[in-house]
A = this chain, B = another copy of it.
Amino acid sequence: MGLAGIRAMVFDVFGTVVDWRTSIAREAQAFFARHQRQDLDPFAFADAWRALYSPAMEAVRNGSRPFVPLDILHRENLETILPTFGFETSALPSQELDALTLAWHRLDPWPDSVAGLRRLKSRLIIAPLSNGNVRLMIDMAKRADLPWDAILGAEVAQAYKPQPRAYLRTAEILMLDPEEICMVAAHNDDLRAAQSCGMRTAFVARPMEHGPGQTTDLVADGQWDIDVPDFGALADSMGL
């Protein structure tokens, strides 16, 4: 198996380390309450916001737009979805939109994430390899006590996953060969991209990421090095 050669683990964050859906719904609910719109479904709002995530990055990935941090895309996407929930964006104070955008900095970890990361950190370098920007990852880590050794990812690499540069530049900065790095994700596509860059791969199942009706990424569908149900089992698999 050769897991002994792994020197660093890099992590997808949204969905893998943190439960973005429940956390965004919590913030949306407070926003709706402030506007006397408790009739709206905060989970539908979270799903709608997240649905624009990948399309928004695509413009950067295909070069039609220079790299911009994810906070900018989250803010633009927010302005796109608000009218579909009956809000007139221009009638809302800019500060309120900024504050709601920062909901993505306040995501709660899955119950096993922090303890598992602490065990892995004892012998490995651990860092996010997320499309979230550095400040977003810093704020999230301080609030949730995520013990990262460094904040890496799209903004540092100036490329969004699944572009090869996001993985390869991260390996370069870590001064490791890709095969010394294990990409950890709850998303098979992310692992596929990491594997084609030469990284090891660990699938962590998060069957509630999209709520009770989730149909995607319920199981590992590639030849991944590790396939586990949570971060505790991930640390177990590394003998930590």
Contact = CB atoms under 8 A, between A and B. Distances in A.
B138 A125 contact: yes
Interface in A64-100: 69, 71
A149 interface: yes
A37 interface: no
A137 interface: yes
A193 interface: no
Interface residues of A, number: 20
A103 B69 CA distance: 35
A138 B182 CA distance: 17
Interface in A126-157: 133-135, 137-138, 141-142, 148-152, 155-156
B175 A71 contact: yes
Given A150-B151, A151-B151, A156-B156, A174 B135 contact: yes
Given A71-B175, A175-B71, A149 B138 contact: yes
Contact of A142 (B69, B149, B151): B149
A17 to B, nearest CB: 16
Nearest to A127: B138
A4 interface: no
Contacts of A137: 150
Interface in A6-39: none
Interface of A: 69, 71, 125, 133-135, 137-138, 141-142, 148-152, 155-156, 173-175
26 contacts: A69-B175, A71-B175, A125-B138, A125-B142, A133-B173, A133-B175, A134-B150, A134-B152, A134-B173, A134-B174, A135-B173, A135-B174, A135-B175, A137-B150, A138-B149, A138-B150, A138-B174, A141-B149, A142-B149, A148-B150, A149-B151, A150-B150, A150-B151, A151-B151, A155-B173, A156-B156
Nearest 6 pairs of A and B residues by beta carbon: A150-B151, A135-B175, A134-B173, A138-B149, A138-B150, A125-B138
